[in-house]
Amino acid sequence: MIKRLVPVLAAGLLIAASAGCSSSSQSPAPAGQQKIMVFAAASLKQTFTKIGDQFSKDNPGASVEFSFAGSSDLVTQLTQGAHADVFASADTKNMDKAAQAGLLAGSPVNFASNTLTIAVAPGNPKSINAFQDLTKPGLNVVVCAPQVPCGSATQTVETKTGIKLTPVSEESSVTDVLNKVTSGQADAGVVYVTDAAGAGDKVAAVSFPEAAGAVNTYPIATLKGSGNSSLAQKFVDTVTGPAGQQILTQAGFGKP
């Protein structure tokens, strides 16, 4: 009888040990950990990712998750009930929409500005040297859609110069425009100087003086629906503080 009990007891111990291992591997995150969600304009992806790392270092146990897209798309998502703690727009127009929808917890703060440039293939094979050159016959040009901040700024340049572009496509975010150029699907794209700089040697940037008349200002605000308004405000403070401003400046953003 004793010999028969030994394997049964051993099997029971193995099952208990296995259950213990399974339980520990699926254990919840430590209670001290906190996370916030930030909706941010697509042109902020590289800089906000770095600022997010700095934020986590400055606030042990806290982390930030991002959703990057065109500012107009983000506002639409927020008005339709999407959850976020912070919203950073690439223009004041879309932030105003968020305010009018009653989404903001307080007044937005302007933290950066950005200017347009023309992204072309390395070496500028199509010899594009001015905004006017984007109207050359046979040239495949892409721009942002009018409701997107970079698209609105492009339209401003068109209106002020009287130069009408005929793009082959209008994209929902500035990163989509840049991707069309880097992938060879377009000869040129109107993007922000920061996006062209962030692409490194994948593109060449052609500046044009008319861009000075269509500078976009970037505002940021905490949202009423935040589950952690204190932590959300700390992220805003990181963006507007010395650390965040240094990262933005290094990426080519201007002061608001």
Whether 75 and 81 have beta carbons less than 8 Å apart is answered as no
- Checking if the pLDDT of 4 tops 90, the result is no
Task: Give the SS3 label for residue 212.
Answer: helix
| Beta carbons within 10 angstroms of residue 229's beta carbon | 17
Binding site as annotated, residues: 43, 71, 174, 192
- pLDDT for residue 32: 53
Distance CA 10, CA 159 (A): 82
Q: What tens digit of pLDDT does each residue of 159-208 get?
A: 999 999 999 999 999 999 999 999 999 999 999 999 999 999 999 999 99
- Checking if the pLDDT of 66 tops 80, the result is yes
Average pLDDT of the chain to the nearest whole number: 90
CB neighbour list of residue 256: distance below 8 Å, 6 or more residues apart: 110, 111, 112, 113, 217, 218, 219
Q: What tens digit of pLDDT does each residue of 80-95 get?
A: 999 999 999 999 999 9
- Checking if the pLDDT of 8 tops 70, the result is no
Backbone angles phi, psi at 114, to 5 degrees: -150, 150
CATH number of the domain located at residue range(s) 116-213 in this protein: 3.40.190.10
Binding site as annotated, residues for molybdate: 43, 71, 174, 192
Task: Give the SS3 label for residue 214.
Answer: coil
* Buried-exposed string 159-197: b where 16+ CB fall within 10 A, e elsewhere: eeeeeebebeebbbbbbbbbbbbbeeebbbbbbbbbbbb
Greater pLDDT, 30 or 88: 88
CATH 3.40.640.10 assigned to 34-113+218-250? no
Confidence tier at 61 by pLDDT (50, 70, 90): very high
- pLDDT for residue 188: 98
Average pLDDT over residues 141-160: 97
- The percent of residues above 90 in pLDDT, for the chain, comes to 87
Residue span(s) of the chain under CATH 3.40.190.10 come to 34-113+218-250, 116-213
